Structure 1
Amino acid sequence: MRSDWARSYGQDRLPRYTSYPTAPHFSAGITDTHYRQWLAALPAQQPASLYVHVPFCRAMCWYCGCHTSLTRRDEPIAIYTAALRREAGIVAETIGHRHPISHIAFGGGTPTIMSPDLFVDLMGTLRFAYDVLPDAEIAVEIDPRTLTAAMADALGQCGVNRASLGVQSFDPAVQRAINRVQGFEQTANAVQSLRQAGVGKVNFDLLYGLPLQSVDSCLDTVARCIALRPDRFSVFGYAHIPSFKKHQRKIAEATLPDSPERHRQSEAIADALIAAGYVRIGLDHFALPEDKLAIALQAGRLHRNFQGYTDDNASTLIGLGASAIGRTPQGFVQNAVTTRDYLARIAEGRLATVRGYLLTEDDRFRADLIERIMCDMAVDLPEVARLHGRAPDSAIVDHARIDSLVADGAVMLLDDRLSVSHGAEFLVRSVASAFDAHLARSTAVHSRAV
């Protein structure tokens, strides 16, 4: 049955629903003027989250879908970090007070590409400009190939308490095909350095659907990773969109697995992680039972944002850096995508906002529906509708899709409570898309559903 579902729905190109509406619907009609007004209106006592984007790497991984660029020199990184510190100050001045911060996430690119001194200075600026709460989660994405002992020590010194390490695959043939050669010992040494430095929580990022990848190579990678006992895993399907990321053209499409094979890889990884004691979290995360993410799932407090699944319930996300996306209760904003444009705006003392989206009441309704199905694999349509003053029968936009999923046994619909069947969790994006009022008129290119 699962393979039939993968064949029937796997080729659909759908959003990952880390936001609703998704970023392709942002427009230049939302400007820095809107963002200034939204920041100034933030409730003073409601904690916000920070996302800091560092768009630099030393080498390009051919699978990468992030906004990043290569640099061999340290000067551009120092200039950019200075701009981040300036932007943090501009945003704080606009808010008008030291706003409480409950989560900080550094993404990229490779955030640890900056020197330890630059990272310490940047964290000092953030703590000066904002009221970083004592129990705040501070997370950073790390390339184990470039992590130094000095940088690990700096992370610990700055209060970083969670690190996400890119692994992807330990298969040498796959690594060569994606231009990311990374030995197991490099990864193990990075984990040891981080834990010794006081960075107590470690996540691993894996990919399936890569060129030359097989179920056996996926399982070998998982077995090696489990030996290091990370707290969480993120397991994403490779999104091959060479029209969007030109470096992906270096990957031969003939070497990529089809949707049924991608599904077999995904489920083999999931089964191995569950057998090792990890709890499946939504579509693509796994966590140890004592991890905060697993606890949030059990308590019905799981959320989804641009970093994936999270226990962060802040309604405001402040994005710093080129291409960074933020959210306030009013809507979404995004900074200038290119580093050059971003630096120019910050040098002028301006917010770097270049586009965004003003949420409607219908958007808020659909965002809640989609978040619940993505997080809980189920949604009570009358209950969500009641919270938004809507009729339950207005929830589903694409009835044909839901009818098809129900007929195929992938979805159950009983008394207006919709749930994803056991074994069909990998189709949750297809289910969520039935609530998406923007999808039918979207021209954006998305990754395959499976």
Structure 2
Amino acid sequence: MSDHLARYAARNVPRYTSYPTAPHFSAEVTSSLYGSWLAALPEETDLSLYLHVPYCRELCHYCGCHTKATRKDAPLEQYARSLEAEIELVAGHLGAQRRVRHIHWGGGTPSLLPEASLLELSGLIRVLFELTPDLEHAIELDPRYVTRRLALTLAVMGINRASLGVQDLNPDVQKAIGRVQSYEVLQAAVDHLRDAGLDALNFDLMYGLPLQTRDTILDTVARSVALQPSRIALFGYAHVPWMKKHQRLIDESTLPAPAERLAMADAAREALMDAGYVAIGLDHFARPDDSMAIALAEGRLKRNFQGYTTDQGEALIGLGVSSIGRLPAGFVQNVSDTGTWQRMIENGQLPVNKGFTLSDDDRARADIIEQLMTSYTVDVARIAERHGLPLSHFSDSLAKLEELVADGLLTCKDAWVKITPEGRPYVRIAAAAFDAYFGKAAPSTIVPRHSMAV
């Protein structure tokens, strides 16, 4: 194991899909405060919508999402009705019809909602909001439940991008993670979607899974590339059984060590680039003609709760249980209990139970961290000036980078920080230097625990 890997890889740091991170949200953000934030949004503000559906047919052992298993359709139908009511409630607080540039359905498995519910929800959104011509309308799918009829329904809804959860194609690894799906099932799902006109496809792969090896992940990459998805996300498995108790079903002795994880990530990354994909940030890859690769080249790449994104919306509205939104004033998160969420909506109350009001310092640090995570470089002095702060405000953060500088993992000259190629796997550690809350107790008084840096 290299000195760098030994020193940094096992450190626990946030993934920085937001700043501040969700553990630091508190009950200071109430339904009424969220309502005032919505009402105060200028009419010209471009919106993004995220709809969370917390249901799957079965729960995979590795899953870190807020979801639960159901074999019945009744909870799904009731959930869809409540989701419609929440959309109407939010639209009422917004007042005038607003433009929407990006819609994302996540979960869980959002396509498990009944066909009629999916069509009604998408139709309601078209009535209450103005959808821009360049709208990206995306959905997350489980390949095992993609039928020809579902693909046609998605096309009618206006879906124009689909993300398929592949994870790994090795049968032994699949058994170990509780997600058995053959290559033939994946290929059939791809064929159904493309036959319906849905050509923009993403594959989600994972490294660091139990029983996974460098050879098995390279085989998964090769067979995935053969199906020619537009994008591939290569996520490192986050083993957090203290947060997700079902992950205790995974035998920890079968998990690869940090050095093996890094070797897998490096090998898969090289294979994807050799196949013609552009490397984007920490864990995404895209065809050169894909909108994400173009956004990277033009300096427009963003990062939010879905990871790297082309979403240019100025406010993200979260809908559904546990969903998180971001407005200029701050973050909001819905309640995580479905029954409470439904009752609040029935009472005409925005179903929020926590969030975070942003300060100028928070906004500046968020910009620094996002630029590091998306482009591996940031001009700290320029961001400080943009937010009306002296460069000395970040002296402590810049000092924390000295260890990484000494190890050749980044350079820092005149407050211009650049991650070196060798340092890219450790970019989250560099980002943590600018996190004013990292290592501090959250509102629950518990210091948050995070996944490994690599």
Same fold (TM over 0.5): yes
Cα RMSD after superposing both structures:
1.1
Say whether residues 1:190 and 2:194 are aligned partners: no
The alpha carbon displacement at 1:400 in A equals 5.5
**For the residues of structure 1 that align with 2:118 and 2:147, how far apart are their CA atoms?**
13
**For the residues of structure 1 that align with 2:351 and 2:202, how far apart are their CA atoms?**
31
**For the residues of structure 2 that align with 1:277 and 1:423, how far apart are their CA atoms?**
21
The alpha carbon displacement at 1:438 in A equals 0.6
**Contact 1:209/1:237 (CA < 8 Å) preserved in 2?**
yes
Write out aligned runs for 1:197-276 (5 A): 197-276=196-275
Give the residue type in structure 2 aligned to 1:175: Q
**Contact 2:214/2:263 (CA < 8 Å) preserved in 1?**
yes
Greater shift after overlay, 392-401 or 140-149?
392-401
Give the residue type in structure 2 aligned to 1:129: L
The alpha carbon displacement at 1:22 in A equals 0.5
**Contact 1:397/1:437 (CA < 8 Å) preserved in 2?**
no
**For the residues of structure 1 that align with 2:181 and 2:249, how far apart are their CA atoms?**
19
The alpha carbon displacement at 1:414 in A equals 2.0
Deviation string 1:70-103 (CA, Å, 9 cap, x unpaired) is 1000000000001011100000011001111000
**For the residues of structure 2 that align with 1:391 and 1:284, how far apart are their CA atoms?**
33
**For the residues of structure 2 that align with 1:167 and 1:400, how far apart are their CA atoms?**
41
**For the residues of structure 1 that align with 2:44 and 2:335, how far apart are their CA atoms?**
29
The alpha carbon displacement at 1:147 in A equals 1.3
In structure 1, the partner of 2:444 is: none
**Contact 2:20/2:437 (CA < 8 Å) preserved in 1?**
yes
In structure 1, the partner of 2:287 is: 288
**Contact 1:3/1:263 (CA < 8 Å) preserved in 2?**
no
Say whether residues 1:446 and 2:445 are aligned partners: no
Deviation string 1:417-443 (CA, Å, 9 cap, x unpaired) is 111101321111011000000103141
In structure 2, the partner of 1:103 is: 102
In structure 2, the partner of 1:333 is: 332
In structure 1, the partner of 2:18 is: 19
In structure 2, the partner of 1:402 is: 401
**For the residues of structure 2 that align with 1:145 and 1:177, how far apart are their CA atoms?**
17
**Contact 1:167/1:204 (CA < 8 Å) preserved in 2?**
yes
- Unmatched tracts of structure 2, length 5 or more: 442-446
Percent identical among aligned pairs is 49
The alpha carbon displacement at 1:144 in A equals 0.2
**Contact 2:318/2:324 (CA < 8 Å) preserved in 1?**
yes
Size of the aligned set, in residue pairs, is 449
Give the residue type in structure 2 aligned to 1:360: S
**Contact 1:207/1:237 (CA < 8 Å) preserved in 2?**
yes
The alpha carbon displacement at 1:212 in A equals 0.6
**For the residues of structure 2 that align with 1:353 and 1:293, how far apart are their CA atoms?**
31
- Unmatched tracts of structure 1, length 5 or more: none
Deviation string 1:339-380 (CA, Å, 9 cap, x unpaired) is 121111112121111111000110011001101111110001
**For the residues of structure 1 that align with 2:2 and 2:338, how far apart are their CA atoms?**
43
The alpha carbon displacement at 1:255 in A equals 0.6
In structure 2, the partner of 1:158 is: 157
**For the residues of structure 2 that align with 1:108 and 1:35, how far apart are their CA atoms?**
23
**For the residues of structure 2 that align with 1:61 and 1:397, how far apart are their CA atoms?**
42
Query: TM-score by structure 1 length?
Result: 0.98
**For the residues of structure 2 that align with 1:250 and 1:226, how far apart are their CA atoms?**
30
Say whether residues 1:393 and 2:401 are aligned partners: no
The alpha carbon displacement at 1:415 in A equals 2.5
Query: TM-score by structure 2 length?
Result: 0.97
Write out aligned runs for 1:29-44 (5 A): 29-44=28-43
In structure 2, the partner of 1:302 is: 301
Give the residue type in structure 2 aligned to 1:12: R
Give the secondary-structure state (helix, strand or coil) at the position aligned to 2:131: strand
Distance 1:399 1:154, change over 3 A: same
Write out aligned runs for 1:51-90 (5 A): 51-90=50-89
The alpha carbon displacement at 1:396 in A equals 5.0
